[in-house]
A and B are shown apart, each in its own frame.
Chain A
Amino acid sequence: EDQVTQSPEALRLQEGESSSLNCSYTVSGLRGLFWYRQDPGKGPEFLFTLYSAGEEKEKERLKATLTKKESFLHITAPKPEDSATYLCAEISGNTPLVFGKGTRLSVIA
């Protein structure tokens, strides 16, 4: 069973159309929840760290939030340059980073 589950697998938005990406994680022993952005053919780039329920982090049009069961990446008024795959990852217990399969976001002008 996957420890980190992301939905949807793919999302297509019009420019300016806000939406949210979901990440469900292993509830027990969570030490951190992380969001990364990956452009095609490149390595992931770190975006945010969340440690406890209720925490929020923002960067430009992106805001990451954490509840007791899941995390959301909210994208407000997206632009075409926000098109990428967004990866969620967790550290729980003494494990290294465990990644979800990602959400592939396309923003159409």
Chain B
Amino acid sequence: DGGITQSPKYLFRKEGQNVTLSCEQNLNHDAMYWYRQDPGQGLRLIYYSQIVNDFQKGDIAEGYSVSREKKESFPLTVTSAQKNPTAFYLCASSIHWGTGEAFFGQGTRLTVV
């Protein structure tokens, strides 16, 4: 089955640690996105990639980094510079840039302990 897979589902991070969230899609989509969702809030864009080997900062990129070395994969690293990383992280893909029909993964819930 085609889809988008995020792992892990739950992740705990100690203060000062970097952690990497995985996102893989087998939909052959060009564009991929990372969003952050806090309780009672909508989705805020962290980074996006229109095509492989290219990515741009979204509205809240500080303290995060990404790579897009393969079309299928768009991992997100939450660095120690991100002061409030506890949140629900969602990865999405769309067939092309500018397409509003996006497919989302099931999310990773990150908690700082």
Q: Which of A's residues lie within 8 Å of B, judged by CB?
A: 4, 9, 31-34, 41-46, 49, 87, 89-91, 94, 96-102
Contacts and interface: CB of A to CB of B under 8 A. Distances in A.
Q: Which of B42, B44, B48, B58 has the largest number of chain A CB atoms within 10 A?
A: B42
Closest 7 CB pairs of A and B: A43-B104, A101-B42, A99-B42, A99-B43, A34-B100, A32-B100, A91-B100
Contacts of B101: 34, 46, 49
A91 to B, nearest CB: 5
Interface in B32-88: 33, 35, 40-45, 48, 58
Contacts of B92: 43
Contacts of A42: 106-107
Contacts of A34: 100-101
